[in-house]
Amino acid sequence: MSVFTGAGVAIVTPFHEDGSINYEEFAKLIEFQIQGGTDAIIVMGTTGEAATLSHEEHLEAIKFCVEQVKGRIPVVAGTGSNCTETSIYLSTEAEKYGADAVLLVSPYYNKATQNGLYEHFKRTAEAIKIPAILYNVPSRTGCNILPETIVRLCNDVENIVGVKEASGNISQIAKLFSLADGKIDVYSGNDDQIVPILSLGGKGVISVLSNVAPKETHDICQLYFDGKVAESAALQLKAIELVDALFCEVNPIPVKKAVSLMGYAAGPLRLPLTEMEPAHAETLKKAMIKFGVPVK
């Protein structure tokens, strides 16, 4: 059984001006997502600036999100690390806090061979009982999880159930679907490739776009599932300009700006991320208005 189908939001983490997590605003963002029809919340991923949070902050944010959601939709906790012991620690703690699943990014910087990736993910997943979704994003990690390795892991480890595929390589993703034979849940990790991946058999998307357009991102998926492929594709194409604006600087710089433009107190970014260039911010604002996202 899939952890979720449809659009899961890779939610931002709002900060106070002093850099601490703004939990009051975090609660508002979670409620906005649920009311907008988001199918799952992915907390403490790349978009949540997990890389700059301490382990204590990381786990506290997961715990808060689980408690705020109250079981209404699945909560997937980002618990991956380039250190296997750390990944196991974060994953076991997230399970204790009630996360429905974990998202495990491939080891970054030190990278790994395919055998190393296999052992890293296997040992992490075997330390918990909840489902694990792999996260392949070689543009950030410098490490590509090959389709054969993903299939091997899903066959050998019962609770490794799927992958967030953000390689952008449709040929590689098609090969994964071919090898998986319908046994692996694949989520698009790129908002401009939702429909292409759904067309190959994908379960949905883990989305940055959902932060500002939860209903529309959900609808791209639901329309496709309902057999309204042309309408789904049309909405996907309508979103492309906004998606491009949301990635004109490194994620999550633009999306935190977008959330702020919507009237939420998203707060500052943690270094080394810096505020968005004014020209890019103006482009983003225009794209949001054009797509119909309320701007204050």
Active site residues: 135, 164
Residue 67, Cβ neighbours under 10 Å: how many?
12
With a CB cutoff of 8 Å and minimum separation 6, the contacts of 238 are 291
CA distance 232 to 212: 18
DSSP conformation class of 68: H
**Which helix or strand (DSSP H or E) is residue 206 part of?**
strand 204-207
Q: Is 262 in contact with 294 (CB distance < 8 Å)?
A: yes
Residue listed under structure tokens 């107190």 = 265
CA distance 135 to 165: 6
CA distance 26 to 276: 21
CA distance 203 to 163: 10
**What totals of helices (H) and strands (E) does the chain contain, helices first?**
12, 8
Reported for 57-60, long-range contacts at CB under 8 A and 24+ positions apart, including other chains, are 57/21, 58/90, 59/90, 59/93, 59/94, 59/97, 60/21
